[in-house]
Amino acid sequence: AQRVTQPEKLLSVFKGAPVELKCNYSYSGSPELFWYVQYSRQRLQLLLRHISRESIKGFTADLNKGETSFHLKKPFAQEEDSAMYYCAPIPPRCLMKTSYDKVIFGPGTSLSVIP
Amino acid sequence: DSGVTQTPKHLITATGQRVTLRCSPRSGDLSVYWYQQSLDQGLQFLIQYYNGEERAKGNILERFSAQQFPDLHSELNLSSLELGDSALYFCASSVHLTSEDEQYFGPGTRLTVT
């Protein structure tokens, strides 16, 4: 069964310190991988997606197919990074035909950056 | 503003009642997703519709149902409500069926069951 875990429910770091938000997934096939962020009192929004190989707000995410991980990293945390972060493996379009191919978001990690 | 709208913003109702939550996707988006966010369960995928048809089902209870109308707006119906159904319900939309597409989330409907 598809599953995604984010082992840290809450993560606190000091401003300027490196931050890594972990995401591990188990999936039959090769899902597309996304990180979504929800700032306080704002909507959930896309932060970055693996397919784009992009860096957004200083965050990057490396896909490790061997470990089936997609950890989110930033070298120097800022106070405005405090938010809830969700990892989301999404089934490839060609497989979204059965009820088994569910959209799954991880449980989320609450990041708190201490000034 | 993502372009996705949800009504109502807040809803307070009693156990055993039935409510309908409404979602209007971004213009041009054919896919609508429904999610439930509660403190203890995090963000849970409920169901997805694409161009009027159900395409994927997640952890949706039998008491819950949804549909997508010809104008592509969607409704989530919750019946025989229980205290544990209190949560924030989000809908999201995307252009295609999935997977390369970003999902655009609405502001959510906060349901409180008393």
HEC string of A28-67 equals CCCCEEEEEEECCCCCEEEEEEHHHCCCECCEEEEEECCC
Q: Per-residue pLDDT tens for A50-98?
A: 877 777 899 999 888 787 889 999 999 999 999 999 998 876 655 555 5
Amino acid at A84: M
Distance from CA of B104 to the nearest CA of A (A): 7
- Dump strand ranges (E) for chain B: 5-7, 10-13, 19-24, 31-38, 42-50, 53-57, 64-68, 74-78, 87-94, 104-105, 109-113
Give the range with max mean pLDDT: A13-22, A36-45, A88-97.
Answer: A13-22
Of residues B66 and A50, more confidence is placed in B66
CB atoms within 10 A of CB A1: 8
Give me the percent of chain B exceeding a pLDDT of 90.
74
Q: How much is the average pLDDT of B11-22?
A: 97
Give the range with max mean pLDDT: A2-16, A26-40, A54-68, B95-109.
Answer: A2-16
Angstrom CA distances, B76 to A38, B15, B66, B89, stand at 22, 17, 4, 9
Of residues A1 and A53, more confidence is placed in A53
Model confidence at A99, pLDDT cuts 50, 70, 90, reads very low
pLDDT averaged over every residue in chain A: 85
From chain A, which residues contact B within 8 Å (Cβ)? 31-32, 34, 36, 43-46, 49, 51, 86, 90-93, 96-97, 99, 101-108
SS3 B1: coil
